[in-house]
Structure 1
Amino acid sequence: MDLSHTRELFERRGPFATVYLEATNPGENAARQADLRWRGLSDSLREQGADDKTIAALDELFGDTSGGDLNAYGRVVVASADGVVFDDAVEGVDAAGDVATWSPLPELGAYFRSQSGSVRALLVVADQTGGDVYQVVASNVEGAREVDEQSIEGSAVESVHKARGGGNAHKQRQRRHAEASYQNAADVVKGIQSAASSFRPEIIVLAGEVTGREVVRHEMPKGLAEITREIEAGSRAAGSSEDALEDALLTEAGKAATERETAIRQQFHEAKAHANAVEGLEMVLEAARTGAIATLLLVDGQHVDGELWVGDTPEAISTEKDKAATISDATPIQRPAEQVLLRAAGAMGGDVAVLGAGAELVDGVGALLRFPVTV
């Protein structure tokens, strides 16, 4: 999982309130239910020592959120005295119920684990007149969650429908119709490029009528074409089957997730032979401290045991309090090792990947490295 969208958060100084809200089925009194849930969590945060400014920022956020929205999707929120600094909707976070934690670090381990099997996809449903571009987070566990959408109507003036008849006039009309299709496709591709630049999809799934897909694919630059997969489903026409489209999208997302993990496992195996990968808490800790982690590796269902001492910066970490104190301006505190490593990796531009439950890593943790490290 790309940690770039949380890098600024990990570079901030706490303390932080991290709130997890589990997705539930909203009842008739959804707003009341949501209010009661948040009130219970706010009381817990106060008991843990959260300050008034942080509580007020969360009060404002949840006060502006309708009960149905809050219940229909799970929510992960991080706030500090500076306000809300992270907010994401997810279908489920380990089904662990509502949890609120007051800590010097953002406690996002459960969030990253819950999202590890997800694939960021741009779903493009195209025809010869334009296309609909959906930003989707998809997984076979949680389904497809739409983040944003855009409908693009092509700018071509000429009709894309071919006229009947023969002769030179007919050929000229056919050429104009084809040119109109490609102009519309170019407009759709501009929309795809714009969405891709901000959403950073792993795959683009191209759906819709055959001719529409063909012209859009033809207009795609190489970088986008390389991550594009076509499916025989979807239509912009009214009444088309959304279930079939979602099923086909989830199939492609599942394939992409499997391919991603296979590639990471192979990369780890090959990198270890050249000292460009490590495993075990001691070696990964040293890599985190020196900013060498390119991708932090965890194992599904196996949390990293133990705690580490952490100071006021992401690299001020150690198994020993006195050692952490020598590289920190603040008094070190102990936090779960997994949270500390995630913060260090994220703050220094690394990623995280959660391998399947069958993976074997010493201490349940490993890392692909930017450069070799020694202890």
Structure 2
Amino acid sequence: MKLGYLQDVYENSGPFVTVYLDTSGDDQDASKEIELRWRSAREQLSRNGAEEHDLRAIENVVGEHGWRAGQRGQVLVAAGGEVVFRDELPEAPEEFADDELARVGPLPHLMPYLRLRSARLPYVLALVDQTGADLHVVDAGRHSGSTTVEGDGSPIHKSSRAGEGSEKHHHDVVEEQWLRNAKQIADEIDKQALRVGAETIVLAGDVQMRKMVHDHVRKGLQDSVHATEASHRDRNASEETLQREVSETVRSAVRERVNATVEEFDRELGQHDRAVNGWAETVGALQRGQVRTLLRSRQEVGEPPETLWTGPEPNQIATERRTLTELGVAEPESVSADAAVVRALVGTDAELVLIDPERSRLTAGIGSVLRYSDSGGGN
């Protein structure tokens, strides 16, 4: 899970107010119930030192949803009198501990949100035919956009009406046109995929054009391309069927990435090379900017630390205060351990993979695959 879409959150100065709300409901009493839940959370946040301007900012957007009814929730983060992050939860935060539902601190409390939501891979969906393509682009923050590639529209189809010589010439002209259009589509896919860091590219539409486009997508992206038979560029094509297949393709890609990461972690750990295990070694690796992918258990196991020490910079993170003072941090702060870890991951461009406890040999529910090997240990 890439976390770059959270970068803007950490551009703000704390304290941060984080609240998780059950905003479920599709009946007439829903708004009243949501208001009561918010009132309770507001009182708790106020007791914990939340600024009134932050509470008012959150209050203005409580219960605003862009999708789905029924069981759902919201995560809202405010700082400096503004909501600096908001997202919808796929279910109500019913299993959260009371101290996770409403929190005030030097950093936003986002690990519960990351654990609850499904992993989101940024992707590009391209519906292609001989004349061009419709591209739908979704980034890791679930923000989407669309663009259209219009190729050379004439002639489109091969013909058998002409004589043998002219027929071959016509076929050659058409295939050259298709090839030019395929290259133009592939170039736009490359551009959009690089823009959002797409980890999956889904091709739908005409079978022959799908293959031609696939062949011309840049080499570094070709392994990420998946084809679906679900749709074509006809506006009357089934959106429901297409979306179902796209969702399954993305879920499959997520499973493959998790499996590959777990296998890599276990292998590197066995070789005592590019992997570390447990809190002390992982925090030390985060401090050095070594972590490429952090593995975290979806449920708490062992005895993780409640807090870590942090400085102003994302990689200023340690298990002991003196480690940071020795590095020149004047006033280290004690913060929630997971909050410190998430900021370090975002600030060092590392990825997060959440796994079930039985999937790997994590010590106390945490470990990391490293960018490079280093003999340094934890701190």
Name the TM tier (shorter chain): 0.7 to 0.9
**Contact 2:357-2:365 at 8 Å conserved across structures:** no
Question: Which among 269, 273, 283 is matched to residue 285 of structure 1?
Answer: 283
**Contact 1:15-1:102 at 8 Å conserved across structures:** yes
**Contact 1:7-1:348 at 8 Å conserved across structures:** no
Question: Which among 190, 198, 202 is matched to residue 201 of structure 1?
Answer: 198
Residue in 2 that maps onto 1:159: 155
Residue in 2 that maps onto 1:306: 305
Residue 37 of structure 1: how far off its partner (Å): 5.5
Pair 177,36 (structure 1): closer, same or farther in 2 beyond 3 Å: farther
Pair 240,283 (structure 1): closer, same or farther in 2 beyond 3 Å: same
Residue in 2 that maps onto 1:141: none
Pair 241,173 (structure 1): closer, same or farther in 2 beyond 3 Å: same
**Contact 1:163-1:174 at 8 Å conserved across structures:** yes
| Cα shift readout 1:59-100 (whole Å, capped 9, x = no counterpart) | 45x18x855658676443322116333334443476547933
Q: Does 1:368 align with 2:369?
A: yes
SS of equivalent to 2:2: coil
Residue 298 of structure 1: how far off its partner (Å): 0.7
Residue 33 of structure 1: how far off its partner (Å): 6.5
Pair 225,49 (structure 1): closer, same or farther in 2 beyond 3 Å: same
Which region of structure 1 is more displaced relative to structure 2, 86-95 or 187-196? 86-95
Pair 43,277 (structure 1): closer, same or farther in 2 beyond 3 Å: same
SS of equivalent to 1:110: helix
Residue in 1 that maps onto 2:3: 3
Q: Does 1:223 align with 2:226?
A: no
Write the distance in 2 (CA, Å) between the matches of 1:176 and 1:93: 58
Aligned residues: 366
Pair 270,192 (structure 1): closer, same or farther in 2 beyond 3 Å: same
Pair 218,294 (structure 1): closer, same or farther in 2 beyond 3 Å: closer
Task: Return the TM-score normalized by structure 2.
Answer: 0.81
Residue in 2 that maps onto 1:329: 330
Which region of structure 1 is more displaced relative to structure 2, 5-14 or 216-225? 5-14
Q: Does 1:19 align with 2:19?
A: yes
Pair 136,332 (structure 1): closer, same or farther in 2 beyond 3 Å: closer
> Which segments of 5 or more consecutive residues in structure 2 lack a partner in the other structure?
none
Pair 368,219 (structure 1): closer, same or farther in 2 beyond 3 Å: closer
> Which segments of 5 or more consecutive residues in structure 1 lack a partner in the other structure?
139-144
Give the root-mean-square deviation of aligned CA atoms: 3.4
Residue pairs, 1:322-361, within 5 angstroms? 328-330=329-331, 332-333=333-334, 335-358=335-358, 359-361=360-362
Residue 165 of structure 1: how far off its partner (Å): 0.7
Write the distance in 2 (CA, Å) between the matches of 1:159 and 1:32: 61
Write the distance in 1 (CA, Å) between the matches of 2:338 and 2:17: 18
Task: Return the TM-score normalized by structure 1.
Answer: 0.82
Write the distance in 1 (CA, Å) between the matches of 2:343 and 2:11: 8
Q: Does 1:252 align with 2:249?
A: yes
Write the distance in 1 (CA, Å) between the matches of 2:139 and 2:93: 17
Residue in 2 that maps onto 1:91: 90
User: Identity rate of aligned residues, in percent?
Assistant: 27
Write the distance in 2 (CA, Å) between the matches of 1:184 and 1:245: 23
SS of equivalent to 1:162: coil
